Structure 1
Amino acid sequence: MKRSLRVVLLAATVFTPSLAMAQDAPAEEGGIKDIVVTARKTSETLSDAPVAVSVVTSEKINELGLNSIDDFAKQSTGISFSQAFGRTTDRPVIRGQSNVLAGVQAGVETGAAYFVDGVYYQGDIQGFDPQSIERVEVIKGPQSALYGRNTYAGAINYITKDPSKDLTISGRARAAEHDEYEIAGSVSGQLIPDVFGFRAGGRFYKYGGEYTNQLTGKKVGNEKTTSAYLTLQLEPSSDIKWRTRVNWQHDEDGPLAIFLQGAAANNCKPGYRSPRYRTASPFVPLAPAVLASTNTNQFFCGTIQPQPNNVRLNTDPLLINPVLGTRDGTAFDGIENKQVLVTSVLDWNLGGSGWMIHALGGWRKNYNYFGTDSDHSDAFAYFAGTAASTLNTEPAFANTNRDVQKDVSAELRLSTPEDKPIRAMIGGFYYKQNFETTDITFASGKGALALGTDGSQYATVENKAIFGLVEWDITDALSVTAELRHAKETKTLIDRATAASIFCAGESGRAATFGFAGTCRGAGSFSGTDPRITVNYTTPGGTLIYAVFATGRKPGGFNGTAGVTAETQYPGTQFVNYLPEKSKGGELGVKFDALDRRLRVNVTGFYNELTDYQLTTSIPNPAGTGAVTSIVSNAGKAQTKGLELEITAAPADNLLINLGLSYVDAKFTEGCDADEFILNSGGLRPNFDTRNPTAAGKALCDISGRKLPLGSPIIVNGSVSWSKELNSNGLEFFANSNFSYEDAKYIQVDNLAKTGDAFLLNARLGIKTANFSIAVFGRNLTDEDSIPLATRWFDLRYGAGTTGLPPAASVSFDGRPAQIETGTPRAFFATLRRGRTFGVEASVNF
């Protein structure tokens, strides 16, 4: 879409937008209704909570037709979410604190964690039933003191619906273009009045896909979810509430809607890592050069444009040789999840004294099957073997595996009465995860190979913590809260690439399963203490002013066999483990109502310093063999600062307007990137430890001042809702719209390639009564086509050999012999955005 059209539409919408952060129900007598949140693990209104939290309520979900975290984020300030890999590898970015490795490189996490009813949830959440949600709280800033593990940027808490007091039945059905269908329903009530309640529901969702794989003629990006849940709530007295929820979910998604922008499009940074210097290799006959080019550029600078007719994935059976016959490109295609999640929460007021015990428990088991042609092109290459021996073998970069994840968590808190001027809470937390991944092959089928065979991995995470807070009302208007958490996390890993390449850290009892006869290196333990201090003051006029100082951390991890190789190359270094990434900073916020509660304003400014930033580091082999080891290291520092504004207005009882704006300046203050050196040197390898380069090397690898990738510096969003009564029987006409605008995102730390900016406009109109509604809707009405996200990759189609390179002896850097980078030319794979879609939806409530 042309920028001028975006600007006009944005300007036209700015005067009637709504941000789903503030109350989204119609204004009642007395102004905008309050929302009760639990962002600080206590019930308080959104206006009174001295914390930056955005809320999407069940009313807003239904009103705007929101379906997943992707939609919720687009109606929240300070968070950017992009479906980079379909409904897997979630990467929420809060306040610009991002990492290109999160969810892509094993063990690297996002820094923003999910919770379901306050219970820690380690996984993807895009398929969660939106009709079962009471509200979603996006809590911004370091939350490690109260929420714990992996919340150094923020926390996202899904609060599900309680059982109703009366018997209620509700349902929703939707049909839209591209074979999109959904039917969801629930029944809720009391088995024993006011003592034992229940809520049960289910959902079936299907999306047929919009784009076509040019190699197979089949749709890509298709999705299907079947889910069901049961909530039981026991309240034997007014002092006890015990709530248990069981959720079952099965996702079945097809191949991803991904295209490859090849190396032929590269337009900057001339050098040896370019198509010009690639050709077929006689030593790798099954990696042919199907393309040739005179392009000497190593990289692409500018906005990556969508290529909907360039989805070319080797998935289905393809003709390889008329004599040899056919074989599948990948042994499994798409994404499949089978998951059971159980959460249980107990709130106990001890003898009605106000002393409260809160106990939370969670158990989750998830089977994930994932398969993709991860060169994302029509390349079909093997790096070893003969044509006959590879008949039943997947080609290079066919990424197919089966993951089994088991989680258990428990949290226990004791808190003092809330009606006292000094309040306190103390708690303990425990989390354990077992993770197994095994290879899916043609021979194994979806069941995958056994644990301990090549391509398998076994890992554990154990987190133990003690935490607490003290809150003091110094006066009726002034309060101070101090929170503190001390946590210790222990990780183990056994990784088998081949029988000759096995890494073991901890879990020595499992090592024999992987054919590992040696002694494990010991588990990786990371511990630390994180405080959070809040000072809040309420003026005589009711304006809340608050200031926060907090620290946070996201987990460290292992580099496995690659780390061992790097330590061997550089004796005395520590590359097997990488440390937790840490944040330290604060925010200043103001919240107030005006115009008889017809206007609500929240403003927040924030600043954070990030240390031990987790970056990819390429470690060259000093022996000159050409081998380069890619690992994760704590090679950078960064800072984020910005401003968030949320406005809610209810100028009339039947009109609600909200607007949100966030500005984030997130940039590196220190860091050295090996790929940056390759680009700036014209295609030379950095023949030094990139953590401590020479002065000349520093100038070429330095990323200081560069923007953190994957986050948008400017996000604007909102919605407007209006209704009009048509008769005295309660029949109403309603209309609403919502929009989101995100500035372009850089894809890598080099700040060269980027997505386009994106303006999305949606609208709904229909009629409703207290018991039913029917609406027609349109999504992405401007047919925005900018890519949501892209990833730096490689282009295999130019062959596995080199040609035209100068003699090695003639190449030098900084007065020393230098190695030429002979790696595969860089390219980019990107996800396609869904286009304009129209549909109809009906709902009933009794």
Structure 2
Amino acid sequence: MKNLHLLHSLWLAPAIAVVCIQNTLAQVIDITNVRINPTPEGLEIIFDGNIDRNLEVNQRVEDNRLILTINNARLVGETIEIDNPTPGLDFLRVISTTENSIQAIVTGDTKAPTVDTIQTEGQLSINIVVPRIAEEEVEIIELVVTAEKFAENIQDVPLSITAFSQGEIEDANLDSLNSVANNTPNFSFFSAGGQSRFFSTYTMRGLSNNNFLSRDTVGFFVDDIPYDYTGFLDIDLIDVERIEVLRGPQNTLYGRNAQAGVVNIITREPSNTFEGQLSARYGSFDERSGTIAISGPLEPEILFFRLSGRLEARDGYITNTLTDEVIGSTSGGNIRGKLLWLPSEDWEIAFNSSYQDYNNGDPTFQLIGQSDLFAVNQDFIGFNRINSNDQSLKITYDNDNIQATSITTRRYSNQEVETEADFSPVDLFTGISDVNSTIWTQEVRLQSSEEAENLQWLVGGYFESRLFNVEADGLRYGTVGAQTLGLQPGLDRTSAELDQTTFALFGQASYEPIEALTLTAGLRYDTTNIRMDRRRNYEVDGSSVEIPFGMTFDDVETDSSALLPRFVIEYEFNPSALVYGSITQGYKPAGLNFRAESDDVLVIGEERSWNYEIGVKTSWLDNRLIANLAVFYNSIDDFQVALQDQRGFIANVANAEASIFGVELELKAEPVDGLDLIAGFGYTDATFDRFFNPFTGQTLDGNRLPFAPEFTINFAAQYRAPWGLFARVGLNTLGSYFTEESNSIFQGTVTTVDATLGYELENYGIYLVANNIFDTRYLTSGLILPGGNVGSYNDPFTIGVLLKASF
């Protein structure tokens, strides 16, 4: 019986199917016309035809696309395609997908639009609503970084990173590394010698360049060109598109190894349309500056250029009570040129060049504890002259399967300084320094396409040649000072040539074994060779006589190498929540000490660290709130410690064991349209675990590392009104820190406040800019000297008017 029923059903099935198909075809409605009308909320799509009943409309969302399927209808006529049908929408397509259905696909700029109402009374009318996203919120959503050499949303990068877009850079007036540090957790930048750019000390996660005799702990890059050495870092940042601050060791993706982190600065690219920007500023201490940038095509779609430059001058604010004059005036500027050539769809060739020249006046230092922190009493007025130039050639080949990059760079920098060194009105001695550096680098990278889904990889090679010349380093003795030592007036001059060569191979691969889970492994092999010739002589004024005055080292050499792994695991709970953990080995190669006066301090031993980090990155309330947290621990072996000699010079080097524990928290919020709140907090417990100073006999276990603030706080509130008002207030707090290893010179917690008030039109703006409103003073350097401890302090309160224009 069951078999008979089955045969009966099979026999009837074709007939039933034919009847159903005939009925379905009979019910299909022809759409003879489609009208697109803009509305205040977005647009309206009206389907006309013989619509005698309600049509079924299904909807779904894929990324930033809204897909509407209209059943039992077909489009009579051609497919409709419209680019940018209304602000906020990229594309609209209406097409017949089958004989009895129509699809309308609406693509939003950043988000999928929504459907407000669907009416089906005689005609089908669909109202499309464009999501109203504030300008600054869009910027957060689309903030793309190349920190890991692939363009990706900052929230998808599994490391602690702070990035600033072009708009954020302009709003916060980020025109120096100091201003960048003031807006970044666990990154501090101190400029010694007042406003003279004499000597820059920075700290990232408790690691500083206090040992400037060795390799920098942070990698600074401007358009892929490495910047280094303490006297060459305090630069003006102009025409910048993006700044990325990566905390933690970076050794498997960057050509130059960086132990504490990377500051990656990307200037604006040449454009295919003519455009330009102008700005001018006048303020306290007769400050005047002007900036210009212009860009456009030399051959449309193929060859483009960009030129930018800045000139500035400013009077000093330090009073020399001996002569009753104000000293420390500065002047200078820089210029940058860029060419971009696109010979074909797959090739991109970029050439960049820049030149900087500054005459920064006298680097000034005061006795710590004196009542007037901006006064000196000295017989000599010094100078600090800095000039540099750099060039780079970047060639990129990029197709659907692979990307190849070649980067060739050269940078020359020179600093000439002479400054008061006895800090008195007596002609005892002055300090001199004349150094120059020439760096050539070649980096080659091969990497997978950015569209690769489950496996992304990168391999590269790096070569660096660095010639560091010390033309003069020492003391110039005046009449009284020379007589004290039984000498004739003259120069105690150290000179040296250091030739450093670095080779490295590096690579990293990220694999997604299952959806949402990514495993990353990287490895770097780094080898460095340094050769040095060094001598120290006393040169009598007005004579060719040179008297040996210290150690001479001829053709000394040291080698160091390391194999540096990195492991990362990340899990994406959803598009708005990512958790990650990483283990990375950090490394600073061995070096040679050009100030060494004995074999014991000639070689600077290599420094190694293991770095552990876990972090969480989240976004909330449709990206109106971003909250990121990172916790890290570093264990450092053979930590390089620079120490003062009996003259007060940083000339001795020892090694220690150290550890660092820290936390970083960053928040960004837009509670209402136009109002942005930005906050960052960093905590660092950076201490010597075991350290015995062999030159003073001190045991310094438990002391804090130099220039490592216990915490940092940055906060900014900014409002931009639709009718043109712009207002911003920013706060920066540095927790307590010490300026040297014995923890004798202490700076307590300090807070500075900056503010900007302006009015903006479409292409113009005028602003009142105030820095350090409450005139807070804090140490930016501190040294222990036989005659008393000396230091320098931050800039005082300043106020100025800033004009901006674009065309």
Give the TM-score range, shorter chain: 0.7 to 0.9
1: distance between equivalents of 2:164 and 2:371?
31
CA–CA distance in structure 1, aligned partners of residues 349 and 670 of structure 2? 37
User: Who is 1:313 aligned against?
Assistant: 378
Change (3 A) 1:762 1:399: same
- 247-256 or 76-85, larger mean C-alpha shift: 76-85
Q: 2:667 maps to which residue?
A: 647
The alignment partner of 1:748 has SS state of coil
Deviation at 1:768, TM superposition (A): 0.8
Corresponding letter in the other structure for 1:841: L
Partner residue of 1:770? 762
Alignment of 1:265-344 (within 5 A): 307-308=372-373, 310-316=375-381, 333-344=382-393
1:85-96 matched pairs, under 5 angstroms: 85=193, 86-96=196-206
8 A contact 2:532–2:556 mirrored in 1: no
CA distance in structure 2 between the aligned counterparts of 1:428 and 1:710, rounded to whole angstroms: 34
Residue 673 of structure 1 deviates from its aligned partner by 1.8
Contact 2:758 2:768 in 1 (8 A): yes
Distance 1:27 1:603, change over 3 A: farther
Question: Against the structure 1 CA distance between its residues 256 and 76, is the aligned structure 2 distance closer, same or farther, given a 3 Å change threshold?
Answer: same
Alpha-carbon distance between aligned partners in 2 of 1:632 and 1:442, rounded to the nearest angstrom: 21
Q: What SS does the corresponding residue of 2:142 show, helix, strand or coil? A: coil
CA contact (8 A) 2:394 2:405 kept: yes
Q: Which runs of 5+ in 2 are unaligned?
A: 1-132, 478-490, 540-547
Per the alignment, residue 414 of structure 2 pairs with 367
Following superposition, the deviation at residue 27 of structure 1 comes to 4.2
1:780 to 761, 772, 781: 772
Q: Given residue 706 of structure 1, which amino acid in structure 2 is its aligned partner?
A: N
Q: 2:207 corresponds to which residue?
A: 97
Alignment of structure 1 residues 557-706 onto 2, 5 Å: 557-559=591-593, 562=596, 564=598, 566=600, 575-616=601-642, 632-674=652-694, 677=697, 701-706=698-703
Q: Answer yes or no: is the 8 Å Cα contact 1:114–1:121 preserved in 2.
A: yes
CA-CA distance at 1:604 after TM superposition: 0.4
Show the counterpart of 2:92. none
- Higher RCO, 1 or 2 (CA under 8 Å, sep at least 6)? 1
1:707 is aligned to 704
Which has a greater percent of strand? Answer: 2
* Aligned CA distance change for structure 1 residues 616 and 596 (closer, same or farther; 3 Å): closer
Q: Does 1:117 align with 2:227?
A: no
Identity over aligned residues, as a percent?
24
Structure 2 counterparts to residues 379-458 of structure 1, below 5 A? 379-381=426-428, 395=429, 398-418=430-450, 419-439=452-472, 455-458=494-497
Q: What is the root-mean-square deviation in Å for CA atoms of aligned residues?
A: 2.9
Where in structure 2 are the equivalents of 1:218-233 lying within 5 Å? 218-233=325-340
Structure 1 SS opposite 2:252: helix
1:358-414 deviation line (CA, Å, top 9, x unaligned): 111111122321111123333433xxxxxxxxxxxxx3xx22233232111110011
Q: Given the alignment of the two structures, is residue 188 of structure 1 paired with residue 227 of structure 2, yes or no?
A: no
Specify every segment of 5 or more residues in structure 1 that has no aligned partner in the other structure, as ranges: 1-24, 262-303, 317-332, 382-394, 444-451, 501-513, 567-574, 620-625, 678-700, 727-731, 796-826
Shift of 1:309: 5.0
Q: Is the 8 A contact 2:377 2:423 kept in 1?
A: yes
Aligned residue identity for 1:91: T
The amino acid of 1:233's aligned partner reads L
Among 177, 184, 191, the residue aligned to 1:83: 191
Q: Work out whether 1:719 is the aligned partner of 2:722.
A: no
Q: Decide which of 490, 511, 523 is 2:529's aligned counterpart.
A: 490
Counterpart mapping for 1:538-557 below 5 A: 538-540=572-574, 542-557=576-591
Which of 130, 144, 164 does residue 271 from structure 2 map onto?
Answer: 164
Q: Deviations over 1:298-332 (max 9, x none)?
A: xxxxxx5763254123324xxxxxxxxxxxxxxxx
Distance 1:218 1:754 in 2: 30
CA deviations on 1:52-100 (whole Å, 9 max, x unpaired) are 1111332122212232101110011110111124413322200111353
Letter in 1 for 2:693: D
**How has the CA–CA distance of structure 1 residues 335 and 708 changed in structure 2, closer, same or farther, with 3 Å as cutoff?**
same
Match of 1:269 in 2: none
Match among 778, 784, 796 for residue 792 of structure 1:
784
SS of 1:338's partner is: strand
From the superposition, tell whether residues 110 and 28 of structure 1 become closer, same or farther in structure 2 (CA, over 3 Å). closer
Q: How many residues align?
A: 649
Give the aligned partner of residue 88 of structure 2: none
1:739 and 2:773 equivalent? no
Q: Aligned to 2:305, which of 198, 205, 208? A: 198
Letter aligned with residue 432 of structure 1: S
Equivalent residue number for residue 132 of structure 1: 239
User: Cα 1:129–1:83, aligned 2, differ >3 Å: closer, same or farther?
Assistant: closer
Distance 1:585 1:541, change over 3 A: same
Distance 2:156 2:792 in 1: 40
Q: Aligned pair in 2 of structure 1 residues 29, 150: CA closer, same or farther (>3 Å)?
A: closer
d(CA) in 2 for partners of 1:76, 1:618: 30
Q: Report the equivalent of 2:261.
A: 154
> Aligned pair 1:460/2:566, yes or no?
no
Distance in 2, Cα, partners of 1:611 & 1:597: 41
The TM-score with structure 1 as length reference comes to: 0.73
The answer to whether the 8 A contact 2:441-2:462 is kept is yes
Asked if the contact 2:155–2:618 (Cα under 8 Å) also holds between the matched residues in 1, the reply is yes
Partners of 1:458 and 1:494 within 8 A in 2: yes
Deviation of 1:205 (Å): 1.2
1: distance between equivalents of 2:470 and 2:576?
55
1:232/1:630 Cα in 2 relative to 1: closer, same or farther (>3 Å)?
Answer: closer
Q: 1:599 to 1:232 in 2, by over 3 A?
A: same
**Superposed displacement of residue 555, structure 1:** 3.1
On the 8 A contact 2:643/2:654 being kept in 1, the answer is: no
Give the SS at the match of 2:253.
helix
Equivalent residues of 2:533, 2:555 under 8 A apart: no
